[in-house]
Structure formats: C-alpha cells, structure tokens
Structure 1
C-alpha cells in the first residue's frame, strides 16, 4: 500500500538526480526490503522503519541455543522470477551471496496406511511412481495433466503475475478475457484432476498443494494445477543458509544504494496534509516525525487501515468493511531441533488423512479442526486428554488489546467487573454487556498485562457482533483507549493432568507452575494463561500464527 504526496516523481530516473524524492517505507518484510532496493536504484532517498529488531517479517530467523530455524516459507519456487528481480538491481543471486540448492525430492506424500508417493522433478522417478498406481496409461494422463498445468502457468504469468490490477476494469482486458476459459477457473482442481487420475490417491497427491494458499482442493480453481507444473518443471529449491539469505541479500543491495534501515522503530500513524488527501510523512511511537514525499505501508492491510492511516470518513468506512471480510486460513508451526537424522523423512513431508475431504471440510467449510486424528476414536481421544495431555487449536477465538490511560475505565463501562485495581498478569471470566438492558453480548476472558493495557479474548462465533459493539462503545466513550485486534496471532490450549509436566519440559526458562492458578498469567517465550478456554488445570498460549 502506498500513500503518495506532492508532485509525481519519475521512478525510472537515474539515481544521479539533483533532487532525490524522500520515501519512507513502514515495514521491512520481504516485500518492503525488495521495494526499498528498487526505489533506491530508481533515484529515491529511502528510509525503512521496522518495529522488529530484524528484517524479513514472516521470512525471518529464530536463533535458540545454537540452533537456527527458518520462520515462514519452506519452499523456494519460481527461481526465474527471483533471478529477474536481482537482474533488475544489476546483480545476480550468486554474486549477491544467495546459493540455491535443489531438493532431490519435492515432497514425500504419506498416506494413512504408511504407503508413500515421492514427488520429484525427475521424469523417470515420476514414471515409476505413477505407474505403480495407475499403470502406463496413468503416466500418459499425467503428462497431459502437466501440459495443462503448463498452459495455466504461462497464461497466469503473462496475464496476471506481470500485470497490475488497479481496478475492476483491468480484468476486462481482451487479451485476458479470451484466455480466461483456458485457465479453467470455474472448475475445482479436484474435479479437474478426476479427468486425468482414476485413483483417489493420485488425485490427492496432485491437489493437496492448494492448502498453501488457504484453499481446499474441492473449492480451489483448477487454474492452480500450475503449482504442480512449476514444481516439476522448475523444481523446489532451498537457499543455502536459510530463506532469510534472500532478504539479507536484498537488504545489502539496498544499503549499498543508500537505503537507511531503522529497526526497533514502530510507526504510530501516517501524517497527512490538513485536507487529509496527501501523506507528508510518518509519526513514530517515540514522537519523532519523518517527513517524506512518498509513504509506503508494507504492513498488514487491515492493521494499516485500522491503526496507521488518517481517520477520514472514506478510510473509516474501508476499515470497517475490511474487518468484516473472511480471513484466509493460517497455520501453526512447531520448530524442533533433532539430535539425529530421521532417514525415513525427506525435506518436505506431507501426511494426508484417510478422511481427505472431511479433513479439508472441517478446516475450510466448518472452520474447525478435524474431529478425529490418526486411529483414535472420539472416545479414545477424550480419555487420552483426561489421562495425559492434549493440545487444542482455539485460534477461532478473537484476541484484543485495549491500551491507554482510560482503558480500565472503558472496560468497566462494557463489563460488570472492576478493573482499576486488578493486579498485573491476573485475569477473570467476565462478559460484555448491552448498555441499556444489561443483557450479555458475549462472554470473555480479560487479563491485565500492563498498567494501562488489557488482553481480552472473545468468542469467534460472535466476531461480527462483538466488533460492531466494541466499535460503537469506543465511539461513544471518547477517552484515551487504543483498540487492536490480534488478527495475526494464534491461540492454543494445553489441557490434561500432565499439562504442567509437558510445559516444564517445553519452557526455555523454568517457571513455578505450582503457583499457577485460574486467571493467572506469566510472560515466557509465549504468553501462558491458566483459565477460560483451556479449562481447569490447562494452559493457553498466544503468539504470532507462524
């Protein structure tokens, strides 16, 4: 998202211009770092401000006890697109310090009964794998599937990836419309795969990848067979040293072109001209103002509209509209360090449930986790939790932060509880109340996490109602309260009699869990909370949904 002010600058101008337009970019994720380098090469004086102490955003690193973990992507696809990006900056990936290693096996797909299918870019290997399930005719059909994926890929790159869609009319380009039916956008990839693969197992193998885009193969357009094509034709790669090597290389290039990075520097808001039509810079949380001719926001779209952009009626309306949109599916990642090589596993392993469609419907249609795992029945799962411990994803719950000197007063307005004297890191079950009738809008768990800061969890099923209610109440209250919804955070609960034992082994630094009681919280590498959705004797964790 960019907010332009002042006269239009020629972004293709030589860096050696008499006047260098000033650009401030908020956010040093992969997109922000790449954009900064490009614009610096085009002649702008670029400053990037980033709230974290590292660059890369979701494509960053975790260092822990001598181990390094990649956060975010685990697949490097479309290497030619990356080569072109570095060529635009007058260098190559190897010269910039990025060495790519090709994965011999793209995926090892595991079925519920232990059978596997190895997806690779080796034609002979793929022939053996496919003929094992569908014979020579199956291999011929796969070649036809691959040819269709190639057409989908070429059209998508030319007519979509390399084009800007600034408005709905851009989709009406004749060159795009005459080819749109060739991309099979109105047929699901599962249905399309059924034309080429006669066994359900191979249909599963060649359709599961749509989950990477937050879609079920039973709903995703057949256009996305291009994924399987590009993985076979161009391969899956791994940057030596981790995925952040790509971001780090772009950062170094940008710095050599004059880009200034200011880390641990959160932005409070965009500064606008008196008429609210032009951006003139950004205000940092520390109070410093950075003037700019161009402002680029590389932050989350909903967060930017809600918290960073000027509060004009048009932006307010757009912010409310965005908050009602259905979010795409995220995931939870666990980072494990191993003391040995697991020979049975390759670089990328996919484990498919026996109830393939049911598992996707649970996630994408019902917005819940599958009700059955592995070979355990529902009754067995229940008894396992009551005798041991189980981890539950409760990220459908909505997490909020209320901050400001009047935050306690606002919460006392909307709940029946007293908050001004609430002890730090202590919480309670409470409820949001209708102001006139005193009826319950929704129940909630609220914890004081700072002197003027509160963490509130409400029910996902009441999302729209709760957000509308809180927005209206804040508007009527008018005090010093900032409301932030933690849309980028996950929430999991550990429940069962062995929860404390499991936690004790998992925490980086020891915590006396015997002193943990209902409503108490403590900050660790994640936030732990005993109460509410986890039940008595359980713990809840909230953190970035990576």
Structure 2
C-alpha cells in the first residue's frame, strides 16, 4: 500500500516536491488555496487580452531548471520555447544608462569602455564566481542542513577560502572595480537575496555567473509556462492537484500528523510537506509543536515585500527594453528604508518589465504589457493613496526614459498588488515577497529547519527554509525535502486498533520510527 502525502501549496517548491515524491512511489495530493497552480508565480488574463505574470520574471540559472526536467526524462524545450534576451536588461542612472549585452565578449568590451582594464577584471571576477557556482551547486545547495557535519569533507575544506564566506559582497566587488556604475551593476544580482550587499557574503558572486554569464532568458507565453510545465511533470509521475482547497488545521497524535482539516473536512495522511509560508503553517499546529516562536520570526531578516503594478498600455512605447532597472537614486538609501527605517522610500528605485517587447502574445496588437515593481519593507501599511502616489513617481520616470507624454491617460488596464495582498493571498509573514534574506547568520544550517523537530512526519520546503529565496533554489528545496522522505522508516501494525486520537477511526496505524 502506497504512503499518502499531503503537499500544502503549489508554488515552485511544492510542485518540485510533488514530482519527486510521486516518482519515489508515494501517493501525492497537492492542495492549493487558489484556483490555479504557481503560488506567487500565478498568471491572469484581462478581458482585452493582456496576460500578466504576477510574480517572477527573471529566468536565471537555466541549468538548474533544466536539471529538474532532466530528472524526469524531459527537457524544458518539451514544454516551452526559451529565448535568450539581448540586451539582458538595461540599467538607468541619473547621468546615463547601461545595456547589458547577451554576449560575454560584448560585456567585457562594455566594461573596458567604462573603466580601463575592467574587462580583464571581469574575467577574474567571473572565474571565481564560476568556481563558487559549481561548488555551491554540487556540494552546498543540495544539503538538508540538519548539521554542520554535512559540510565536513576534504573537497569543501579545500574550497573554503575561495568561497569568500566571511567577506561582504560590497567589499568584494570594490576589489575588482572602481567605476560606480560597474559596482552597482555587479551588486544588483544579490539584491534578489533580500539584503544590502554590505550584509551578503561574497560567496553569492555566484549569482553574477548564474545571471550575466549564463544569460537572461524568457519562456514564450510568460513565466507561467514554467509553472504549467512543472505541473505536467508532477502529474505525469502520478501527483494529483486539488484547487480552491484551504488547509485550516493540522491534527497530530503522539508526535505524528494524523490528518488535515481541508475546507472544513478532515482528511487522513501518512506524511505532510508544507510548501506554504513556514510561519503560517506553524499557526495550524498546537503551540507546543511549533519549531519556532513569534520572537524568533521577529528577529529574522526578511527579504523585502514590494509594490507591483500590472499595466495595460493602449499604444506601443519606444526606448524601453524587456527588463529595465531604474537606479537613478541611491541604492543604500532605499535599502535602509526597507531594512532599518521600515518606511516607504523617499527616493525609490524600481524595476519595469515589458514582456510585450519580446512576446506579442501577452498584449493586444499595438499595445504594451508593463509590470512595475518597487521593493518595500515588510509589515508596513499600504493603502490606495500610497500606491497611487508611487505609481505616479514611477510613471514620471518611465515617461522621461521613453519620451512618452501623458502615459497615465494611455493606461487601459491597471491593477496594484502590495504588502497586504501578499498577506491575504499567501499568508506571507509580514507580507514578504521573497522569503528570508541570505545573510551569513541565515545561511545553511542557520535557516529554519526542513523538518519539524517534534512531529516526525511533517516537513517544510520553500523560500523560508533551505536553500533560500528564488525560483531555482525553491525547485531544489522541493527535491531536498522529497529525498528526506526516504530516511523515514515505517512499521505497519496490521491489527486494527482503537487509538486515543479522536481524529482517527478504527484503521491500520502506521508508526514512524
């Protein structure tokens, strides 16, 4: 008889865990509160034909995503067309702009134009970044991180100094480049990790390799094509998806999950994997069974929340790329507003994505699909007045770049999404958008544990546990947790016994040792 798994949530880590667990022979049921898979990566279509990806838009580390499909005998190309963007993105400064080319040789030439000898320095930087990327992907990122003993190996010890774990990223970049624009350009990738470059270990220069060297890509039809592809893979292995299903309570007995209350009904399972928000999942348990207290969560450094606008523009716009970063203002000032002052930024940075420049299917003819994102502190209040204030700020700067007048009057579709929406839709702690920041004190073993310490058959996966935030790490997280299932030993008691658990009827009792 196959063991029955409940998987809470169908974000990237949930779909990954579902696919791997089903492949291992488990009966997997995925429960999603929304009417579609994807979690933060959902997609919606308007009446006029605008197609908006709601969350992730940067397709980096394509090798990690390809490895997922390869594990099941597929290729990404079996499901969608992946195109390489050129330029990868454009970064706007107050005195100019930089377009990051697809070709690495062209990137070196660009660096040399901005700083004498910077192309050779880029080679040195990327050689070290490639080494970190390879070591991290082979020896670090796939570990469950129960103990530091997992990292005790001659290979890791030999590599330790080259990984620059104790050097902060900003100081590390400054050793290579003097030009302020190049420094900001090289610091940008680690912003995805949720903290200031001053507080991120230089190990994460691997992000520069995973982005700039391996390229920035886009799946035609939108990022949601990756969601649909992963769902198909999980279903091909036997996983079943259930939508519009909310988990209301996790019942336990003698150190084991016995059942879940789903939409008011009790359902029994042998194992539970929570891909939902870690903090929220633990509110579904009795207080004494939580891994972490409220004090613990308040002490963590979270990656930002954000203000997002989905805009349908009823004419074509010139001078804007697929990805554009508006960095005219001071990066540290914006980061301090997020991490230190916990307030709306006075001089914000923001990001614009215009996928209709690459993909005509995401907007009506002669129209543009624009996604605006501004990072924010978690836990702050947001209302319509504040949202509109910052929309106007972003639109003004977009008009300046594109030399477009009266852009507000050309918006025929508008939807905003902010801190309170992340809480409402995803039960996200503080309304965070990306999980925990990858600071040194929140790395590897120091992250929230992948397994409940008091309940033997409850596991966690996703951006609040190992290996960390981002789409590729979330996919890896699902693989890690599925492999942890194989460490469980089962003992079947074939006798029908009446247990003390009021939520169990006369049935076969499975003991987890």
TM-score scaled by length of structure 2:
0.68
The structure 2 residue matched to 1:300, chosen from 253, 268, 277, is 277
Structure 1 position 163 matched with structure 2 position 140? no
SS across alignment from 2:75: coil
| Residues 174, 303 of structure 1: alpha-carbon distance in 2 compared, 3 angstrom cutoff | farther
Note the alpha carbon deviations across 1:252-299, whole angstroms, 9 max, x for none: 2322333221100101112212x2x0112211132x222111111111
SS across alignment from 2:52: strand
Whether the aligned pair in 2 keeps the contact of 1:280 and 1:293 (CA below 8 Å) is yes
| Residues 314, 283 of structure 1: alpha-carbon distance in 2 compared, 3 angstrom cutoff | closer
Structure 1 position 214 matched with structure 2 position 198? no
The structure 2 residue matched to 1:93, chosen from 62, 76, 88, is 76
Higher relative contact order (CA 8 A, sep 6+): 2
| Residues 497, 58 of structure 1: alpha-carbon distance in 2 compared, 3 angstrom cutoff | closer
Aligned length: 384
Matches within 5 A, 1:122-271: 122-135=103-116, 137-271=117-251
Whether the aligned pair in 2 keeps the contact of 1:106 and 1:120 (CA below 8 Å) is yes
Report the CA distance between 1:397 and its aligned residue. 8.1
User: Match for residue 67 of structure 2?
Assistant: 84
Q: Gapped runs of 5+ residues in structure 1?
A: 1-18, 375-392, 399-459, 461-489, 510-523, 528-539
Counterparts of 2:249 and 2:44 in 1: how far apart (Å)? 29
Counterparts of 2:144 and 2:419 in 1: how far apart (Å)? 40
| Residues 265, 508 of structure 1: alpha-carbon distance in 2 compared, 3 angstrom cutoff | farther
Matches within 5 A, 1:374-389: none
| Residues 506, 33 of structure 1: alpha-carbon distance in 2 compared, 3 angstrom cutoff | farther
User: Match for residue 112 of structure 1?
Assistant: 94
SS across alignment from 1:117: strand
| Residues 318, 261 of structure 1: alpha-carbon distance in 2 compared, 3 angstrom cutoff | same
SS across alignment from 1:23: strand
Counterparts of 1:498 and 1:140 in 2: how far apart (Å)? 44
| Residues 70, 326 of structure 1: alpha-carbon distance in 2 compared, 3 angstrom cutoff | same
Counterparts of 2:272 and 2:389 in 1: how far apart (Å)? 51
Counterparts of 1:492 and 1:166 in 2: how far apart (Å)? 41
RMSD: 3.3
SS across alignment from 2:100: strand
SS across alignment from 1:225: helix
Matches within 5 A, 1:33-72: 33-65=15-47, 66-72=49-55
In proportion to residue count, which structure has more helix?
2
Counterparts of 1:330 and 1:109 in 2: how far apart (Å)? 21
User: Match for residue 351 of structure 1?
Assistant: 326
Whether the aligned pair in 2 keeps the contact of 1:492 and 1:541 (CA below 8 Å) is no
Counterparts of 1:190 and 1:322 in 2: how far apart (Å)? 27
Note the alpha carbon deviations across 1:152-190, whole angstroms, 9 max, x for none: 212211221222212343344453344222111222222
Q: Gapped runs of 5+ residues in structure 2?
A: 350-373, 394-407, 423-430, 434-513
| Residues 87, 323 of structure 1: alpha-carbon distance in 2 compared, 3 angstrom cutoff | same
| Residues 320, 314 of structure 1: alpha-carbon distance in 2 compared, 3 angstrom cutoff | farther
